[in-house]
Structure 1
Amino acid sequence: MASTGDNSKTALIDGLNGLLADHLALYFKTKNFHWHVQGPRFRDLHLLFDEQAIEIQGQIDAIGERVRKNGAMTLTSIGSVAKATQIADQDDTSLTPDKMIEELRDDNKKLVDSLKELKTHAEEAGDNATDGLIDDWTDMAEERVWFLSSTLN
């Protein structure tokens, strides 16, 4: 029978791998929109999407390393990412800029929700390092939501 500590550690690892999958998928989607955005706001959105993709990419390694530092294995392939992510693929290269913004905003909101849930798991598992990083990652995702939302007004 697994102890409560084992359950909280398993929930933390599962949550971190889900977060890793979400960041990888969101990074690719954000770059997709960066490459395919068109219209009068092209320059501003092209740059905004690139800035956000770079920020997301910068978190990927730290998330994977938190999994390893907790003694577990990370995702290993595109297939494992696809199985673990909550970020839906988007292959339509003709979306309007507003649809792109709405999708990225909503996907980043999903990340905020996941991060808040993951914080509980980190606390329960006694992983102070992950707990502290989650605060920073949440702030970054909330800022991305804010920036994306503000471009729609």
Structure 2
Amino acid sequence: MTRTDNSRAALVASLNALLADCFALYLKTKNFHWHVAGPQFRDLHLLFDEQATEIFALTDLIAERVRKNGADTLTSIGAIARSSRIVDQDATTQGSEAMIAELKADNEALILALRETKAAAGAAGDNATDGVIDDWTDQAEQRVWFLGQLLK
């Protein structure tokens, strides 16, 4: 493998890990959307749904970047589970503040993953991926900001 091939392989691995993280974060956000309760129910129910929709929309864009780099994407829930760095949350009785804090932390972790993928895109000379990640990072930063404001 040449240096370029190695850089491209590293980018694809980073994109696929990012794809797995987005799917896992989408499911967790939907879980909280479905199970939130309490005085802020309506606002949080709607916020979590908005955020889940935004995260889900990223999955196709990320997968298309993998394919445009000539590689295969993740193909199953098992592949997502093996590749995701987002920890599952199966509890259905968490308080809303715990849900908010967990989603905030997971979105912060996603921002770090996005920055790693941006660096990999730069190393691989993939200007399109490098550029589009800025928008994805901005979206994640906005989710962190909104969630953080709820914890004050």
TM over 0.5: yes
Q: Give the whole-Å Cα distance in 2 for the aligned partners of 1:71 and 1:3.
A: 16
Q: Which residue of 2 aligns with 1:95?
A: 94
Q: Residues 128-139 of structure 1: matches in 2 within 5 Å?
A: 128-139=127-138
Q: Which residue of 1 aligns with 2:79?
A: 80
Give the CA deviation at 1:142.
0.6
Give the CA deviation at 1:17.
0.1
Q: Give the whole-Å Cα distance in 1 for the aligned partners of 2:116 and 2:86.
A: 16
SS of the counterpart of 1:75? coil
Q: Residues 96-135 of structure 1: matches in 2 within 5 Å?
A: 96-135=95-134
Give the CA deviation at 1:3.
1.8
Q: Residues 1-153 of structure 1: matches in 2 within 5 Å?
A: 2-153=1-152
Q: Give the whole-Å Cα distance in 1 for the aligned partners of 2:75 and 2:10.
A: 19
Q: Give the whole-Å Cα distance in 2 for the aligned partners of 1:117 and 1:51.
A: 26
Consecutive unaligned residues in structure 1, runs of 5 or more: none
Q: Give the whole-Å Cα distance in 2 for the aligned partners of 1:79 and 1:58.
A: 20
Give the CA deviation at 1:7.
1.4
RMSD: 0.6
* TM-score (norm. length: structure 2): 0.98
Equivalent position amino acid for 1:147 in 2: F
Equivalent position amino acid for 1:126 in 2: G
Q: Give the whole-Å Cα distance in 2 for the aligned partners of 1:118 and 1:68.
A: 15
TM superposition outliers: structure 1 runs of 4+ over 2 Å: none
SS of the counterpart of 1:71? coil
Equivalent position amino acid for 1:22 in 2: D
Give the CA deviation at 1:106.
0.5
Give the CA deviation at 1:55.
0.4
Q: Give the whole-Å Cα distance in 2 for the aligned partners of 1:90 and 1:117.
A: 24
Q: Give the whole-Å Cα distance in 1 for the aligned partners of 2:141 and 2:2.
A: 34
Give the CA deviation at 1:6.
1.3
Consecutive unaligned residues in structure 2, runs of 5 or more: none
